[in-house]
Structure 1
Amino acid sequence: MTSRSIPIAPTRRTVVKAAAVTAVIAPALLGTAATAATAHAAPAAPVFLHGVASGDPLPDGVLLWTRVTPVPEAVPGSGLGPDVPVGWEVAEDRAFTRPVASGTTTATAAADHTVKADVRGLRPATSYWFRFTAGSAVSPAARTRTAPAADSAAPGVRFGVVSCANWESGHFSAYRHLAGRADLDAVLHLGDYVYEYGSGVYPDAKYTVRRHEPRHEIVSLADYRLRHGTYKTDPDLQALHAAHPFVAIWDDHEFANDAWPGGAENHTPGTEGDWAARVAAAKQAYFEWMPVRASTEGTVFRRLRFGKLADLHLLDLRSFRSAPAKTGSGTVDDPERTVTGRAQLDWLKSGLAASDASWQLVGTSVMISPVAFGALPAHLLAPLAELLGLPKEGLAVNVDQWDGYTDDRRELLAHLTSRAIRNTVFLTGDIHMAWANDVPVKAATYPLSESAATEFVVTSVTSDNLDDMLRVAPGTLSAVASGAIRTANRHVHWVDMDHHGYGVLDVTAERSQMDYYTVSDKADPAATTSWTRSYRTLSGTQRVERVYQPVH
């Protein structure tokens, strides 16, 4: 794929300026008391304190997002502040001398003063610049990009791929490095964009790099709004949103750990209210604060197309799943239990069968590949179980993943093989580790049996993995643990349990390749990044192979 030379990334000066602004206005996000103490430092006119973003690119359009602070007391979740007219404009150049679209909307307290503009009439496979205005305030200019025409033979598409960014666990340097790339069509965020925990809970207070706001666990609409608002003061996250359009799905921490429709591991009805009310609040805040189209409200499963090269099928694996098997609700292979829900699984199967794209990319928040963890050394089983939120004894499979809902997986893989659907690649987050897997129809007899698909799992941006939990140097565990897992799971080509970072997926007609990058130190706001490994699946093979250099 030819690299683009468009100067899309924010300059270091821009990032430093954003950090300075954040330092001034962050106290205004901390609550009523802090607001009263610092109101004199905040301007009385509307300002854009949370950056700008775009998302869900189409061949002819893209969704634009921002949040306006109309008056100092109108902090996220406060419900305060007047309605504010907001203008938006799109241009072909950063100086906005060649405008192509513009319009107005209104920021209201009912939507936490967030606004969206679903812009259409744009050209396919084209980079644009956009910005917002409110009164005399002008937002930062940001870059976005439309998808290739639906019937075009796109030569390639390239995504940044991220997951699991816990504010308290570290700085978002991975985001900064992705923002600095000039070659991405979009960033795919596979869930856990925010975390619900109270401060000092995950990780423990002595390991906390910076503190969440609000300080308590978030349960109300105001809480979820303030948590989203806090994350969007991060200069690296703002830089990434300003550089590339996002395609986002949620996992559990946008609600609460190990969420399902009936509750969550991290929800106590007696003290934390009604679960349905908490989910409704979390979803409302998510759709207010994320550049995701309103047509998907209530769920995030949807489909985006990138020419005839790739269809991207995005799943919601929290809103329809059955109770976790660990609660005694049934065995993992009970055919009555589901992770997708019947309607979503039928939608996915029909979309896969009907697609004429060269590649079927499936965004899934939890791992679909079967994995038996019982082969791990005993001293690693307990911390791994804690990491996965599972009982510390008898760990064999992670029932929060597709391993806990094997009938859905069996049906989906049978559909891929019986319909001869080739080149399906699952893109996954959640587990705070990097993996490169074949997805076997029968794991017990693999590699003699068939592989139905492949899977690339990206590690976390900051959320703790095994080296963090055991307080050992990165790289200490992977050599031992990876060997044990690969011996027991022949379809697993690689697993890294130690590092943090991101992936870059490069897709051409001939292959899909994931380049894995790691950051030097998640606690260092100036952390560097380096390429670690690359794996690809060649067209028609349904198997992963190692590549010894990144695409770019």
Structure 2
Amino acid sequence: MTELNRRTLLRAGGLGVAAGIVLPGVAYATPKARPVLTHGVQTGDVTSDGALLWTRADRPSRMLVEVSRDPSFRHARCLRGPVLTPTTDGTGKLRLTGLPAGEEIHYRVHAEDLDGRNSSAPLVGSFRTAPIGRADVRFTWSGDVAGQGWGINPEIGGMTAYAAMLARRPDFFIHSGDTVYADGPLKESVTLPDGRVWRNVVTPEKLKVAETVAEYRGQFAYNLLDENVKAFAARVPSIVQWDDHEVTNNWYPGEILDLPQYTEKRVDVLAARAAQAFHEWQPVDRRRAEDGRLYRSFSYGKHVEVFVLDMRTYKDANTADKNGQGQILGARQARWLVDGLARSRATWKIVAADLPIGLIVPDGKDIEGVANGLPGAPAGREFELAWVLRTLARRHVRNVVWLTADVHYTAAHHYSPDRAAVADFTPFWEFVSGPLHAGAFGPNVLDPTFGPEAVFVHAPPVANTSPLEGFQHFGEVQVDGRSGDLTVYLRDGKGTSLWSKTLRPSR
């Protein structure tokens, strides 16, 4: 992070973009016009001394940032960010550091022409750095955005669940995957069973399945056309993971597609292109990831540490032997998770999973998720999860809570060895919440291997229920700084609490 003179941020001039250089997917102003920050600002991967700041410009330009504890920006630090170029689709990130812990931080972003003579209109935002001690913590989680044909509908105010989450004033948001639906083209209108018409905002990239890097970029750009999403992103830092729809439905490494809508059949090629776009457009700090991809952890005060999983990149084939020893995390990530949970001094260890553990998630005749749908001893991908749960029990790790989305309804699952085919693990809770803005489904059938019990379920009566019908969801976690008690709320898309549970830490 480079300091610079504050006056550099305020210069304006006549010359615009360098001749002949434009970025795809946007309309460009005349050369003498100012640069434009096209898709708002975001922060992510927040720490006790800062966060990762993201923006995008419509032409080659320099990202310039002011940072202050004061919303008036008096005594602001002025920082020189990266050059925003077509190489990264005009996007850029700057890691903010050296900030006080547990404080509200305000930032203002400009894009300055490369000759320094012209500057964009500023965009402002804020975030709270992670605390260090016994602080109250509030965060939300959900997933599944713009799926099953339900895109941005201006007639209902767009993706309004984001506004409901913002009203809860969370310290951060865990986006549990399916951040976009790159495999789900949109139509301009959808006629509902009762005759009402749903109308989508549509862009060229959303008219077909994504295959090229440019088409994958367009998936992430689309969601940031929504004013609710942009307002939320400017005020709440995200911890983002991915699942399948960032690439294609139910994908796994090495898969070869037989779908006619794809000209590129090799999933590994599609996944690499999608990953490039994902990292360009999401406020994810690859330097914090264990292998430079996605799985990573974050401490948020004395009581909370979040472990972000990648249950997509390292999984075996959906057609793998259900009775053998499969994998969903891979050996390296599984060991990282167990070691990290065992070392953690946080009261609550939050595992952000992109797939549920005990729900049967089919892929045609095969299995997409962890549970293999068979009673008895763990097998297939369950075998690896059983190793994780048993090792945590042997190492006396307590107060682990799993959060996920994926299945497009909300539920509370309690797992216990008293009901399970596995006797040597510590009981735990898994909370499911979604979709944030997509078709609603469910409920799925529970697999008995780890003894799950569905304590609460809110799901629609029919598959692919539209966002108009009240089955959009997000979850909220509140941790009391004094007692360490953790309360989970499962909320609908308007923010109404449907169910809650307070957990007291085991000592």
Judge same fold: TM > 0.5, yes or no. yes
Match of 1:504 among 473, 476, 494: 476
Alignment of 1:459-538 (within 5 A): 459-466=434-441, 491-498=453-460, 499-508=471-480, 509-519=483-493, 528-538=494-504
Task: Tell me, in whole angstroms, the C-alpha distance in 2 between the residues paired with 1:87 and 1:264.
Answer: 43
Deviations 1:411-434 (A, max 9, x none): 011012111111000011111111
**Relative to structure 1, is the Cα distance of residues 341 and 140 closer, same or farther in structure 2, using a 3 angstrom cutoff?**
same
**Cα 1:466–1:50 shift into 2, 3 Å:** same
Q: Using the TM superposition, give the Cα deviation of residue 353 of structure 1 relative to its aligned residue in structure 2, in angstroms.
A: 1.1
For the pair 1:187 / 2:164, whether they are aligned, the reply is no
CA distance in 2, matches of 1:92, 1:454: 38
Deviation at 1:538, TM superposition (A): 2.2
How many angstroms apart in 1 are the aligned matches of 2:55 and 2:292? 21
| Matching residue of 2:138 | 158
What is the distance in 1 between the residues matched to 2:121 and 2:261?
44
Q: What letter matches 1:125 in structure 2?
A: G
> Deviation of residue 209 (structure 1)?
3.9
Q: Encode CA deviations 1:374-404: one digit per residue, 9 max, x unaligned.
A: xxxxxxxxxxxxxx55337xx9xx6423546
Q: What's the counterpart of residue 260 of structure 1?
A: 252
- Between 199-208 and 490-499, the greater mean CA deviation after superposition: 199-208
Q: Residue 14 of structure 2 corresponds to which residue in structure 1? A: none
Taking the aligned partners of 2:436 and 2:218, their CA distance within structure 1 comes to: 21
Q: Does 1:345 align with 2:317?
A: no
CA distance in 1, matches of 2:258, 2:224: 24
Q: Partner of 1:349: helix, strand, or coil? A: helix
Equivalent runs, 1:65-464 vs 2, <5 Å: 65-70=54-59, 83-134=60-111, 135-149=118-132, 152=133, 154-166=134-146, 168-170=149-151, 171-182=158-169, 184-200=170-186, 209-210=199-200, 211=202, 213-214=204-205, 215-263=207-255, 271-295=263-287, 296=289, 298-324=292-318, 327=319, 329-331=320-322, 333-335=323-325, 337-368=326-357, 370-371=358-359, 388=361, 390-391=363-364, 399-403=368-372, 405-441=381-417, 443-444=419-420, 451-464=426-439
Name the SS for the 2:273 alignment partner.
helix
Cα shift at 1:535: 2.1
- Cα distance change of structure 1 residues 266 and 30 upon mapping to structure 2, 3 Å threshold: farther
Cα distance in 1 for partners of 2:220, 2:308 equals: 22
Aligned-pair distance for 1:530?
2.1
* Pair 235,277 (structure 1): closer, same or farther in 2 beyond 3 Å: same
1:322 to partner: Cα distance:
0.5
Question: 1:43 & 1:217 partners in 2: Cα distance?
Answer: 36
What is the correspondence of 1:23-62 to structure 2 with a 5 Å cutoff?
44-62=33-51
- Which stretch shifts more, 261-270 or 163-172? 261-270
Relative to 1, partners in 2 of residues 1:63 and 1:464: Cα closer, same or farther, differing over 3 Å? Answer: same
Q: Aligned partners of 1:432, 1:212: CA distance in 2, in Å?
A: 25
Partners of 2:362 and 2:368 within 8 A in 1: no
Cα distance in structure 1, aligned partners of 2:143 and 2:265: 28
292-301 vs 484-493, greater mean Cα deviation: 484-493
Q: Which amino acid aligns with 2:436?
A: V
Equivalents in 1 of 2:108, 2:236: separation in Å?
14
* Matching residue of 2:375: none
In 2, Cα distance between the equivalents of 1:258 and 1:114?
A: 28
Q: Gaps spanning 5+ residues in structure 2: where?
A: 1-21, 112-117, 152-157, 373-379, 461-470
Which of 52, 72, 90 in structure 2 is aligned with 1:63?
52
The TM-score, its normalising length taken from structure 1, stands at: 0.74
Alpha carbons 1:414, 1:441 under 8 Å: kept: no
SS of 1:491's equivalent in the other structure is strand
* Alignment deviations for residues 319-371 of structure 1 (CA, whole Å, 9 cap, x no partner): 100001xx2x311x422x10000000000011111111111110000002x24
Q: 1:505 to 1:109 in 2, by over 3 A?
A: same
SS at match of 1:137: coil
More helix by share: 1
Q: Which residue of 2 aligns with 1:6?
A: none
Change (3 A) 1:267 1:351: farther
1:228 Cα deviation (Å)? 1.1
Cα distance in 2 for residues equivalent to 1:202 and 1:264: 31
Residues 39 and 224 of structure 2 are in contact (CA less than 8 Å); yes or no, is this contact kept in structure 1? yes
> Structure 2: how far apart are the matches of 1:390 and 1:203?
28
Between the aligned partners of 1:371 and 1:289, the Cα distance in structure 2 is 31
Matched residues in 1 for 2:245 and 2:237: separation?
A: 22
Change (3 A) 1:266 1:493: farther
Contact 2:46 2:237 in 1 (8 A): yes
Q: 1:236 to 1:30 in 2, by over 3 A?
A: farther
Give the conservation status (yes or no) of the 8 Å contact 1:63–1:292. yes
More deviation, 168-177/270-279: 270-279
Once the 2 structures are TM-superposed, how far is the Cα of residue 144 of structure 1 from its aligned partner? 1.1
Identical counterparts, % of pairs: 26
3-state SS of 2:486 partner: strand
- Contact preservation (8 Å) 2:150, 2:437: yes
Q: Distance in 2 between matches of 1:454 and 1:343?
A: 24
- For residues 66-89 of structure 1, give each alpha carbon's deviation from its aligned partner in whole angstroms, at most 9, with x where no partner exists: 00112xxxxxxxxxxxx2122111
Amino acid at match of 1:391: G
Equivalent residue letter for 1:140? L
TM-score after normalising by structure 2: 0.80
Structure 2 letter corresponding to 1:323: A
- Residue identity in the other structure for 2:96: V
Question: How many Å apart are 1:219 and its aligned residue?
Answer: 0.8
Deviates more, 1:423-432 or 1:488-497: 488-497
Aligned residues: 445
Task: Find the residue that maps to 1:319 and give its secondary structure.
Answer: coil
Q: Relative to 1, partners in 2 of residues 1:46 and 1:417: Cα closer, same or farther, differing over 3 Å?
A: same
Measured after TM superposition, the shift of residue 505 of structure 1 is 0.8
Match of 2:114 in 1: none
Displacement, 1:309? 1.1
Q: Distance in 1 between matches of 2:230 and 2:203?
A: 17
